[in-house]
Amino acid sequence: MRLKDPYNRPVSNLRISLTPACNLRCIYCHAEGEDQPKSPLSLEELTEIMRVAAKFEIRSVKFTGGEPCLRADLPGIIRAVPDSMECSMTTNGTLLADIAQDLADAGLSRVNVSLDSLNHATYQKITGSDCLDEVLAGIDASIDAHLTPIKLNMVLLKGINDQEVDDFIRFVRGNRDLILQVIELMEFRDCTHHSELRDLEARLASNSQEILTRRMHHRKKYCIDGAEVEVVRPLHNTEFCAYCNRLRVTSDGKLKPCLLRTDNHVDIRGKYGEELEALFHEAVKRRAPYFR
């Protein structure tokens, strides 16, 4: 039985933060809404959470962090994903080159790679480390392992990387394994480089040969001379909320009904069986559009 919230929005996607740890220090990081590092969920706990999610007809799970590749047991976590669920991952890509094939062999279907600049100095300014070459190698390894299509997540930062959008479009052009995803800055920390995306979307629309609307998130995909570009605008966006199908799990074991709220979490750490199922029901009951 699929769960629906009080606004009749079905929950079909689970997003699990595997660890609060990260090997980068991005200036904009919202850490999936987690405030303090906690000990992450065990493989046993994660396996039970995914079993219950599958029972409620949740069709896909995306692993996030922090940086999920820092978990030594990541292949085992992927192997524990129920057969009925698609499995993907969001990563900064710095560690992918050596493990992409192992993750694919374990059952991972595709990756999103956070990449905010193609310039070494700018990449270091944003992330605190110059690991750009490692990320590019990780993307190549992921293509070789068929972890595709790979979405490149570019958070647009005014005055820092906003002049690189055309460079990114050229980078993905002609490569059917790559999709550019330009993301609105979510102001969870002290980063103030918010860039308005409406003007960018208007420019993309004027240059597009085709504009598609994604069924799942009801957002636009712009097809520009062999490049695919999506724009993600969660802030002050009623459509983003209206079509939300996602339930999150924090690395310290809480169901998080909404990315933008921290006052409605449901603690599921150490819960199993019918008790855990009841807590899933409770979390979905607490879901409400943040912008409406």
Q: Residue 194 has what pLDDT? A: 66
Q: Residue 181 has what pLDDT? A: 97
- Report DSSP letters for 168-190, one per residue: HHHHHTT-TTEEEEEEPPP-SSS
Q: Distance (Å, rounded) from C-alpha 55 to C-alpha 77? A: 18
User: Residues of the chain with pLDDT > 90: what percent?
Assistant: 80
Q: Residue 191 has what pLDDT? A: 61
CA-based radius of gyration for the chain: 18
**Is 160 in contact with 122 (CB distance < 8 Å)?**
yes
Q: Residue 156: is its pLDDT beyond 90?
A: yes
Across 53-87, b (16+ Cβ under 10 Å) vs e yields bbebebebbbbbbbbbbbbeebbebbebbeeebeb
**Is 229 in contact with 237 (CB distance < 8 Å)?**
no
Task: Delineate the domains of the chain, giving CATH numbers in brackets.
Answer: 13-285 (3.20.20.70)
Q: Residue 2: is its pLDDT beyond 80?
A: yes
Please provide residue 240's backbone torsions phi and psi, each rounded to the nearest 5 degrees: -55, -45
User: Residues of the chain with pLDDT > 70: what percent?
Assistant: 93
| pLDDT interval class at 38 (50, 70, 90) | low
pLDDT digits (tens, 9 = 90+) for 183-224: 988 765 556 676 778 888 889 999 999 998 876 666 789 999
- CA-closest candidate to residue 17, choices 67, 80, 87: 67
Q: Residue 267: is its pLDDT beyond 80?
A: yes
Q: Residue 219 has what pLDDT? A: 78
| pLDDT interval class at 34 (50, 70, 90) | low
What is the mean predicted confidence (pLDDT) over 104-122? Answer: 98
* Mean pLDDT value across the chain: 92
pLDDT digits (tens, 9 = 90+) for 234-261: 777 788 888 899 999 999 999 999 988 9
pLDDT digits (tens, 9 = 90+) for 39-79: 899 999 999 999 999 999 999 999 999 999 999 999 999 99
Q: Residue 183 has what pLDDT? A: 93
Q: Residue 15 has what pLDDT? A: 98
Q: Residue 89 has what pLDDT? A: 98
Q: Distance (Å, rounded) from C-alpha 30 to C-alpha 35? A: 9
Q: Residue 185 has what pLDDT? A: 87
What is the mean predicted confidence (pLDDT) over 124-138? Answer: 97
Q: Residue 33: is its pLDDT beyond 90?
A: no
CB-CB neighbours of 136 under 10 Å: 16
